[in-house]
Amino acid sequence: MDYSKQLWYTSPAPYWEGALPVGNGRIGAMVFGGTAEETLELNEDTLWSGLPDESLLENGPAKVARARRLIADRRFSDADRYIQENLLDHNCQSYQPAGALHLTGDSGGAILSYRRGLDLENAVAVTDFQMDNTTFRREVFASFPDQVIVLRLTGSGPLRLRLDTPLHHTAGAAGNELWLDGTCPSYNRYDQIRWESPDGETGIRYQIRCRVVAPDGTFRADGAELILHETASTMLLIAIHSNFIDYRTMPGSRGDSPETRCRRTLDDAARFSYEELKQRHLADYRPLFAKSFLALPSRPGDELPTDRRLRECGENFAPSLAALLYHYGRYLLIASSRHGSEPANLQGIWNHLLMPPWGCNYTTNINLEMNYWHAETANLGACTEPLFRLIREAAEKGRRVARDFYGCRGWCLHHNTDLWRFTTTATGRPRWGYWPVGGIWLTSHLVEHYRFTQDRDFLREIYPILHGAAEFLLDYLVETPEGELTISPSTSPENVFRDPVSGEESGVCGGSAMDLTLTAELFDNLLESASILAIGDETVAAVRRARARLRRPVIGPHGQLLEYGEDFPEIEIHHRHVSHLYGVYPGAAFTPDVNADLYRACQVSLERRGDLSTGWAMGWRVALWARFRNGDRACKVIGNLLRFVEPAEVPDYDNGGGVYLNLFDAHPPFQIDGNFGVAAGIVEMLFQSHRKTADGRILLDLLPALPAAWPDGEITGIRARGGLTVDLKWRNFQPVSLRLAASVPGNFELQWAGDRRSLELRAGNPVTLSW
């Protein structure tokens, strides 16, 4: 049995962070594996608070100009205070739980054996236990083809079923169905909740409808509960639909009701038996998951329950746990981001709280991007459509913010967005609320998708988004006294420095390394894309001129990259964000070949920041150490990330993050980006393709950061820039076979241990190399 592709336990989940996730991108469930009572916490991806929102602060351009003058006068803390009081607008909305299905059975017997687990290869959560002389088995999966959650119970006996939710709702039961009609708040953020708008409008409405299929059973409704008698095998089909239409349109203003949609979905799914539904699910899921796998050395103890492995692993963790993290990261993206769904949010698709941390939204100063870092390299490009749709819609919505808030052309997006494609500034502090380059970062995912696929039609489709982002930057840039161009006002996400004049803290400066690196990257991406598509216009020419004048990041007295472009006193040297290192990863502007001085300075900065941090921040550090070609350091950070964390009422940020019982990333609290970030980092340890030779060929870098703990292994199906699919096997720290399959012809250079060789690959003609 391959223990790198399953989670398993010998007792039910004691809390939500121990339950096992299933999902099909649009709907999901957390399965607790209870015996006397089973619980499925349910989610649907369009259940958000709020309504379409076009509100915006007035007189934005004049206020931005005032902040710029304060920064030019080096009154940084005053600028910070002014932005907080005058330029921070309002908050985006919160992702909401759908509710929970509770199944209560006989609680009088003794439990003689128990096992629950999540099979990552088949995306099925299974609970097996024996109570007295009866064997019980429960299987749960979320079907993408049939858009239902399926639960089969064998040996179930009498059951009482009920639905509940913390949202406003009514519930009912009749025949073989029970349902819940719920309503999301019109506003919900930071402990403020309103169920109706000032105009009397309610939020999104939805329905959960559960149909019981039990040919040998009898049913009886008891109020809003359904009681099932005398059945040996039962199948439950769960459908969830809302009246959400799109980010611009009032929910429910057209189209079928949630009830009609639920009934139709259940009628369609009920045409199939359980085995047929499962086979349809597997036929859809398996090809996606099987695109890539990772095998690392096994150890005694790999067969132990997952919680025991976590509690006992320590710094010298079993390599198969890293493989499990890789497979789990791929599984979670498939389960939370599929074609037509919303993108994976801060918690993927899973949330049980009315007021989740940070609204469980799309945080675009690291978290949303990190959710998709492994999508291209780990061969899950099929899961990126929701992200790309969000970017297109944010670009549409962000045009008004660029025009009316900044007096700029193009479009922009700040550090948060939501179902309604919120694009303006948030409340709080400038260090997070004021960051108009969030959309600039997101555009890099579009260009990277082209680089991995070489799909020129896609590049042509997304080029206007790059063009609009470049227009915004061209208008937003300001000239320094030295004649360079810089970003102002500028921040470095969520960090602050000590104003050397006032002694107060400030997050606002005249050109952070992060903002300048993102600007340079977008300009380079636009120029590259325009060249490929043979586009030449005034914007392209203006970008070329501006790129030549753009201020370069600065190296400090300790050899470190200066986060704010000046040697300001640091307040939190071990801050979780490492935004100024973007040019190393996920960017590629700083490498051993290009901007080598900045590359070395970033390594000094990473040493100063330290390895121990919040969960997602350690995922970023894994990838950074891989780009710095230090496999043992990357492996050490993975060990830190595998620290077992119990959920707490008040999260403990000071002692760093880790993982919960179910391997969910602990910021703390739960944020799924750490699961995705470490999966991306593991690929970077084994294979990299972000560098180019002097003549423009893509450099294929084998085992660039292989740690001492992984002398042997194999990874298949990973993707490389230039349209390649890669299978790599190594023994005793050396590659033994490499298979490269190209989707388009191309010239590449292969590197391992300092040796290089040129390769010319043709589409449809895989090449296998042996050592």
CATH tag for 698-770 (out of 1.20.200.10, 3.40.630.90, 3.40.50.10490, 2.60.40.1180): 2.60.40.1180
Domain 3-48+96-289 belongs in CATH node 2.40.33.10? no
Residue 99 has pLDDT above 80, yes or no: yes
Q: pLDDT averaged over the chain?
A: 96
For 56-89+372-610, CATH gives: 1.50.10.10
For the stretch 416-430, pLDDT in tens is 999 999 999 999 999
Residues 6+ positions from 665 with CB-CB distance below 8 Å: 615, 616, 619, 641, 657, 659, 671, 672, 673, 674, 675, 678
pLDDT at 739: 98
Of all residues in the chain, what percent carry a pLDDT higher than 90?
Answer: 92
pLDDT at 678: 98
Q: What is the mean pLDDT of residues 308-331?
A: 93
Q: What is the mean pLDDT of residues 211-235?
A: 88
Give the position of tokens 């025009």. Answer: 403
pLDDT at 654: 63
pLDDT at 655: 67
Report CA 232 to chain centroid distance, whole Å: 40
Residue 131 has pLDDT above 90, yes or no: no
Residue 504 has pLDDT above 70, yes or no: yes
pLDDT at 395: 98
Q: How many helices (H) and strands (E) does the chain have?
A: 19, 37
Residues 6+ positions from 246 with CB-CB distance below 8 Å: none
pLDDT at 106: 74
The answer to whether 449 touches 458, Cβ cutoff 8 Å, is yes
pLDDT at 649: 62
pLDDT at 653: 62
Q: How far apart are CA 583 and CA 596, in angstroms?
A: 11
Residues 71-87 as b or e (16 or more Cβ within 10 Å = b): beeebbbbbbbbbbeeb
Paired with 189 in beta bridges are: 192
pLDDT at 133: 83
pLDDT at 62: 97
Query: Looking at the chain, which residues constitute the CATH 1.50.10.10 domain(s)?
Result: 56-89+372-610
pLDDT at 217: 82
Q: How far apart are CA 754 and CA 679, in angstroms?
A: 26
More confident residue, 656 or 734: 734
Helix (H) or strand (E) holding 259: helix 258-269
pLDDT at 263: 98
Question: 322-336, 647-661, 709-723 — which is least confidently predicted?
Answer: 647-661
In a 10 Å sphere around its CB, with 0-12 CB exposed, 13-18 middle and 19+ buried, how is residue 215 labelled? exposed
Report the predicted TM-score, pTM, of the whole model to 2 decimal places: 0.97
Amino acid occupying residue 318 = A
Of all residues in the chain, what percent carry a pLDDT higher than 70?
Answer: 99
Query: Looking at the chain, which residues constitute the CATH 2.60.40.1180 domain(s)?
Result: 698-770
Paired with 739 in beta bridges are: 727, 768
pLDDT at 111: 87
For the stretch 682-692, pLDDT in tens is 999 999 999 99
Residue 134 has pLDDT above 90, yes or no: no
Give the position of tokens 């004021």. Answer: 434
pLDDT band at 595 (very low <50, low <70, confident <90, very high): very high
Q: How far apart are CA 67 and CA 56, in angstroms?
A: 18
Query: Looking at the chain, which residues constitute the CATH 2.70.98.50 domain(s)?
Result: 3-48+96-289
pLDDT at 233: 84
